[in-house]
Structure 1
């Protein structure tokens, strides 16, 4: 038992380091010196600490309801990712026994995204208020840089707090708290995708029961339209179809149902998903001058019918 706890703690510590150093680790453009690693630590630790807290709260939002209902669950497994702009693949807990009914499934499923949503919104709002707007020189070459995309929520709150901002000529020097909030919102949105055993899959299955199997595949086809906007969602479509699965495994109904409060709470979280969903999460600098495949198809259609 102690060895299992050691694994959870070790993954937590490793994830802290990958969050802190993902921008510098094996990056040929940054000298791998002790001084640079010290500078990166002091610059990034607010991002690492706050995002770890968001991830921990998300998993506790699953773990505590599971224990409340007597469902065995593991401690969170944090997933370090030493390369890339984010530094983690999130965290998971493992449910060790059958969930008794859909009401319990709903409470376990929605607790995680509800907790991470609240903390991510707070981190984002505080972080973006501490961020700076910088002007981009006309001859600046963006091609070697990565940019975070916007959801409806991040775009309008940025314009409200820092704006008006013309993102074609300006950029935001994001505070580490803003980055943690952005990543937390992205992870929350991905978990709220309403398929299989993702959190959103638990919620939507609990709300609509077995009838949802009649239309969930059509919803998945609609979701795959976003693969035409950004390749990220093609990868997620593959993971959902082959690993997570589109349909949720059978869980029996609760004797009293899930109740109106849970239904409306679930509906509000699914609407929230639409507000925090990021169509293009990571944008290459070269993509600013390129259109997406969806826009190319739309342009071709409008030209064909004489609307362009």
Structure 2
């Protein structure tokens, strides 16, 4: 049965609203007045529109290769999130046919993150160029604030464009485009986690074939370490293990494999994942200066074995 187009339109519109009003909706610290909603609309619409463009580009990166190979796929389902600082859980398409081989799987799987990676990088560079460095007052109580964490890419690009920035004394007043680029990179990185039915799972399975089943659980074990760094990854560990699965379902090999060009492009995408991955995506002000559980465990081990730091 073909998907109802009105469902896609309604979800798209609801996602626009949750993106635009993520800072005010259900926020007890902001008066729920018509004036404030108008203000937030004019402040946040660049974030909403730009992030929707990134998400749409990501899904078209899956949809168009699927149609090219004759694999039926739905239009994008955008996922609104009416609470939290981001306002969405991204978007998905539904593949309705069996994917014929690993080469087709690679092209469909890699297309989405490749498009959203390029768009997010461009948007982030423009957005951070329009952002401002502000001094943090020495008496500021950070406990009521949320902070977005850094990947290798966002940290060094910020230092390059706006730096040098000492984040103990300064903060970035982010332009809405910078926020859209940051969220686009985060969603791209999550999709590139190399497990199960995630895009990264499609890519790594297509590249290494059935032999990857010998070590993918070991890789998942290493990923569990990030659950000790930030609770976000504990949630994703749970989702991957119980819903998305660690291993990819069987897809037969292409007659001539995926080819050297696709393999090298897959390596590039996986390396890009390491560069844009954010160990601590959202940091509560109350835990800003506190060590992670991993840090606590390390200090406990050091104290137990009697090694001086």
Q: How far is 1:23 from its partner?
A: 0.8
What is aligned with 1:240? Answer: 240
Q: Provide the C-alpha distance between the structure 2 equivalents of 1:160 and 1:26, rounded to a whole number of angstroms.
A: 37
Do residues 249 (structure 1) and 249 (structure 2) align?
A: yes
What is aligned with 2:287? Answer: 287
Q: Provide the C-alpha distance between the structure 2 equivalents of 1:239 and 1:93, rounded to a whole number of angstroms.
A: 18
Q: Provide the C-alpha distance between the structure 2 equivalents of 1:2 and 1:257, rounded to a whole number of angstroms.
A: 32
**Runs of 4+ deviating beyond 4 Å:** none
What is aligned with 2:308? Answer: 307
Distance change in 2, residues 1:53/1:181 (3 Å): same
Deviations 1:62-108 (A, max 9, x none): 00000000000000000000110000000000000100000000000
Q: How far is 1:297 from its partner?
A: 1.5
Deviations 1:258-279 (A, max 9, x none): 0000000001100110000000
What is aligned with 1:97? Answer: 97
Alignment of 1:195-206 (within 5 A): 195-206=195-206
What is aligned with 1:24? Answer: 24
Considering only aligned residues, what root-mean-square deviation do their CA atoms show, in Å?
1.0
Q: Provide the C-alpha distance between the structure 2 equivalents of 1:2 and 1:64, rounded to a whole number of angstroms.
A: 17
Q: Could you tell me the TM-score, scaled by structure 2's length?
A: 0.98
Q: Provide the C-alpha distance between the structure 2 equivalents of 1:249 and 1:29, rounded to a whole number of angstroms.
A: 46
Q: Provide the C-alpha distance between the structure 1 equivalents of 2:153 and 2:131, rounded to a whole number of angstroms.
A: 16
In the comparison of the two structures, how many residue pairs are matched? 308
Q: How far is 1:286 from its partner?
A: 1.1
Q: How far is 1:305 from its partner?
A: 3.8
Do residues 112 (structure 1) and 119 (structure 2) align?
A: no
Q: Provide the C-alpha distance between the structure 1 equivalents of 2:142 and 2:266, rounded to a whole number of angstroms.
A: 40
Q: Provide the C-alpha distance between the structure 1 equivalents of 2:259 and 2:87, rounded to a whole number of angstroms.
A: 39
Q: Could you tell me the TM-score, scaled by structure 1's length?
A: 0.99
What is aligned with 2:141? Answer: 141
Q: How far is 1:215 from its partner?
A: 0.3
Deviations 1:248-306 (A, max 9, x none): 00000000100000000001100110000000000000112210011111222233242
What is aligned with 1:188? Answer: 188
What is aligned with 1:177? Answer: 177
For structure 2, the residue ranges without an aligned partner over 5 or more in a row are none
